């Protein structure tokens, strides 16, 4: 049982590698920077069954040796940040060309099953959401809207997933996608990641306002488990929205103030317009595969405990 995880040192991938090692897999993890990946070497089972391989998303053929000999490939590596100066170089190329680069290696190796870490960013950023009773896996984010509103990260995930589906169809490969919402949870790695940073900045008072948007929230351990469940289930197909709860940012901030009155949660509505109501996001497909989502409150508690331990919070 050998699998490859791309971007193995990342926030979500570290939990996935931990879970795969716990379940007896041999893992070939691709990384860019050995220094940022040291935490992986301390995971139980790592000394016997984890191999780290350097590979850059934009270097053709860089993933060939990592993917070779693997039954499955989890492609999680993709840049996730919002402040960009050159969207093509920083986000779109690594996401889209990088995904195709990994899939080229899978095609050469005839990988039996691929799990793509996509995002609900590739699902729900569409005007079709408004008025829909439930947003499910049939939705794709609107590329023109993303460009118009310069939602570069959302665009990168949407274009990458669409390109991946085209590629696997053409090359007759078996792929499933996991589409998580905003992922929170304890850090296994040393560096902060974008989604936990958001929580941190509300709690430490750095964020003074929040966008007029309702988004989904989910715990990192459930996201890792979702990847394993779709990989191991021979009947899994298509996309899997991975979400515990949709909350407007304003309600999320209220939840934080209620749970942590000791922190200076000061963020207010960014403008006076009425708050966009929370949409419903289906998580039935993953529930049907046996996933029971941890509550957002539990996930926030675990995350805050970790942020305190790592001295990000008092």
* CB closer to ligand NDP, 137 vs 268: 137
Instruction: Give dist(CA 291, CA 276) in Å, integer.
Output: 29
Give least dist CB 266 to ligand NDP, A.
Answer: 23
Crossing angle (nearest 10°) for helices 98-109 and 152-171: 20
Using CB under 6 A as the binding rule, whether residue 28 contacts ligand NDP is answered as no
* CB closer to ligand NDP, 272 vs 303: 303
Instruction: Give dist(CA 150, CA 125) in Å, integer.
Output: 12
Give least dist CB 247 to ligand NDP, A.
Answer: 14
Using CB under 6 A as the binding rule, whether residue 97 contacts ligand NDP is answered as no
Query: Exactly one of 3, 4, 5, 9 binds ligand NDP (CB under 6 A); which one?
Result: 9
Instruction: Give dist(CA 303, CA 185) in Å, integer.
Output: 5
Structure tokens at 133: 């009773």
Using CB under 6 A as the binding rule, whether residue 25 contacts ligand NDP is answered as no
Give least dist CB 18 to ligand NDP, A.
Answer: 13
Instruction: Give dist(CA 41, CA 155) in Å, integer.
Output: 34
Active site residues: 157
> CB of 178 within 8 A of CB of 117?
yes
User: Could you tell me where the DSSP H helices lie in 72-217?
Assistant: 87, 98-109, 143-148, 152-171, 194-203
To the nearest 10°, the Cα dihedral for 154, 71, 15, 245? 50
Using CB under 6 A as the binding rule, whether residue 250 contacts ligand NDP is answered as no
Which positions from 57 through 76 interact with ligand NDP, judged by CB under 6 A?
57-58, 76
Cross-strand partners of 175: 114
* CB closer to ligand NDP, 193 vs 283: 193
Using CB under 6 A as the binding rule, whether residue 56 contacts ligand NDP is answered as yes
Which positions from 177 through 206 interact with ligand NDP, judged by CB under 6 A?
180, 182-183, 193, 195
Contact region for ligand NDP (CB under 6 A) — 52-60, 126-134, 243-251, 295-303? Answer: 52-60
Cross-strand partners of 248: 214
- Rg from Cα positions in the chain: 19
Structure tokens at 286: 């993953």
Using CB under 6 A as the binding rule, whether residue 141 contacts ligand NDP is answered as no
Q: Which residues bind ligand NDP (CB under 6 A)?
A: 7, 9-13, 32-33, 36, 56-58, 76-80, 94, 98, 117, 119, 157, 180, 182-183, 193, 195
């Amino acid at each position: 049982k050998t699998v490859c995880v791309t971007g193995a040192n990342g926030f979500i991938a570290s939990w996935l590698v931990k879970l795969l090692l716990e379940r007896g897999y041999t893992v070939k993890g691709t990384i860019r920077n050995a220094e940022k990946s040291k935490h992986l070497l301390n995971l139980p089972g790592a000394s016997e069954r984890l191999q780290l391989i350097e590979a850059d998303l934009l270097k053709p053929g860089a993933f060939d040796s990592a993917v070779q000999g693997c039954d499955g490939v989890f492609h999680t590596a993709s840049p996730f940040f919002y402040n960009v100066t050159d969207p093509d170089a920083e986000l779109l190329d690594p996401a889209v060309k990088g995904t195709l680069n990994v899939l080229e290696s899978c095609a050469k190796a005839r990988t039996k099953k691929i799990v793509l870490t996509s995002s609900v960013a590739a699902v729900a950023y569409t005007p079709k959401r408004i008025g829909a009773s439930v947003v499910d896996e049939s939705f794709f984010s609107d590329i023109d809207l993303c460009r118009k509103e310069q939602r570069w990260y959302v665009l990168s995930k949407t274009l990458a997933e669409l390109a991946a589906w085209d590629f696997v169809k053409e090359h007759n490969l078996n792929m499933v996608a996991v589409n998580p919402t905003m992922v929170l949870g304890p850090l296994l790695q040393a560096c902060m990641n974008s989604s936990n940073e958001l929580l941190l900045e509300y709690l430490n008072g750095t964020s003074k306002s929040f966008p007029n948007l309702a988004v989904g929230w989910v715990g990192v351990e459930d996201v890792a488990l979702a990847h394993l469940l779709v990989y191991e289930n021979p009947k899994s197909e298509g996309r899997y929205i991975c979400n515990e709860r949709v909350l407007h940012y304003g309600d999320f901030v209220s939840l934080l103030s209620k749970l942590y009155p000791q922190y200076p949660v000061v963020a207010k509505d960014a403008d006076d317009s009425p708050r966009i109501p929370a949409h419903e996001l289906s998580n039935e497909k993953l529930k049907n595969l046996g996933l029971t989502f941890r509550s957002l409150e539990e996930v926030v508690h675990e995350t805050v405990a970790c942020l305190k331990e790592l001295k990000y919070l008092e």
